[in-house]
Amino acid sequence: MKTRIEHDSLWSLQVPKDVPWGIYTQRVLTTYPQSGVNSVPEILLREYISAKMVYATVNTKHKKIDAKTKKAIHSAVKMLLKMDSEEFMQYFPIGQIQSGGGTSTNMMINEVLANVATKQLGIPYGTYSINSHDHLNASQSSNDTFPGVGKLTVLKLVSALEQQLEKLINTFGTQAKDRKKIQKVGRTHLQDAVIVSLWEEFGAYARTIQKNLNIIKQAKESLLELNFGGTATGSLQNITPALRKDLVAEFTKVYKTKFRQAKSYFEQNSSSSDFARVSQSFVLCANNLIKIGNDMRLLSSGPLAGLGEIQLPSVQPGSSIMPGKVNPSAIEALTMACAAVIGNDQTIHVLTRQSQLQLQQFMPGIVFPLIDSAQTLTQICQMFCTRCIEWIKPNKERIQTLLEWSFAYATDYSEQLWYETVARLVQKALKEKRNLRELLEGEM
């Protein structure tokens, strides 16, 4: 393999001649064994290079870089953004296991953009007439750009999740509306309780998800506070208050989203609580999705030897050994996906506590799992809605049979016949395998 020699503050290093990254990225690739295996999420990389274009615009306005350099950076960003996923990811090889602070990701972005921009000027990779530090990192630090880009990325993903949750809410609402007249046994402690309707049961699921959606929307608000311009610690080193203000204004313009300046850049650089809050809102949603999924599995159990009150759609054969068996596979997938979201949250909260002094250095280990959680929840909610909830059918005959032979009627008679009388009749019906309604009517 042909190589080129690049230099940094440590020592010279050979870099493959035709790759668009540089010496910093090459050191990462040779240091961390996960590099190239579990790649930095593509959606974050695309947001990162887009953010560099915003910085180039503002830096030009404040005479940090010249117009020619800005044009070259913008051209490089646009070229990369036009690439399909496979080609794009070949430019960004490092993995999620990397140094703290997001420096590895930021410098990989800087080197790739510097080299691509330079090559567009007809100059080979590795010459850096457009420099990865002086031009691409002007007015910046990994410490403010990585969490800032993390917020841009998660905001986009949360918007997609909100859409899927809305669809799920509407689907539960439709299921409830279509089953208003179907009465059934309600259960508490998994025992017969009082009469409910499928409308009430499914309406409760719709309301549960709606409350989770509201919580996610509230948590998302914290992501609108950007710390772009916080540089290394939150101080005004290498930046001015006017440039900070213009950064927020330019991001607001480009993203068509009303962003806010950080109230404390020191807090934003040293804390990851905004991300932890969003993660916790995901967990609350995941908990309820697991609960609803468990209800669906119970209600559909059988189909002959269980409750069998509802019929789930068959999405795949359920067994490699038992012919004809069908499992609640979509709900099992839902449960495992939600468990992964809960696991990611544990990672996020452990690392949130690990911040010291002026930097949350474990930001990559927080942002990457949060991105995964947002994508996982969105995908699994879409599947749960379209491959399960939309196709649920009530087994009316089974529902009526279970209701008729249950003790759900007992409470309705307790005020007329008194509690003790009804309790005695319930025990009599259970012992003699009699119909409780007939016994109750006989006492009237």
3-state DSSP assignment of residue 260: strand
Q: How far apart are CA 202 and CA 177, in angstroms?
A: 9
Per DSSP bridges, beta strands 310-311 and 393-394 are antiparallel
Distance CA 152, CA 43 (A): 10
Backbone conformation region of residue 122, classed left if phi is above 0, alpha if psi is from -120 to 50, else beta? left
Structure tokens at 429: 């019906």
**Catalytic-role residue among 12, 189, 235, 373:** 189
φ and ψ at residue 373, rounded to 5 degrees: -65, -45
Longest dimension (CA), the chain: 98
DSSP string of 296-351?
HHHHT--SSSS---EEPPP-S---SSSTT----HHHHHHHHHHHHHHHHHHHHHHH
349 is catalytic: no
Which 3 state secondary structure label does DSSP give 82? coil
HSE toward the beta carbon, residue 360, CA cutoff 13 A: 30
**In the chain, helix, strand, coil percent, each to 5?**
60, 5, 30
**Tokens 């399960």 belong to which residue?**
388
Cα(217)–Cα(284) distance, rounded to whole angstroms? 13
Taking CA atoms, 442 is separated from 192, 407, 416, 425, 438, in Å, by 22, 15, 13, 10, 6
- Would residue 85 show up in a list of annotated catalytic residues for this protein? no
List the catalytic residue out of 12, 159, 314, 319. Answer: 319
Active site residues: 189, 319
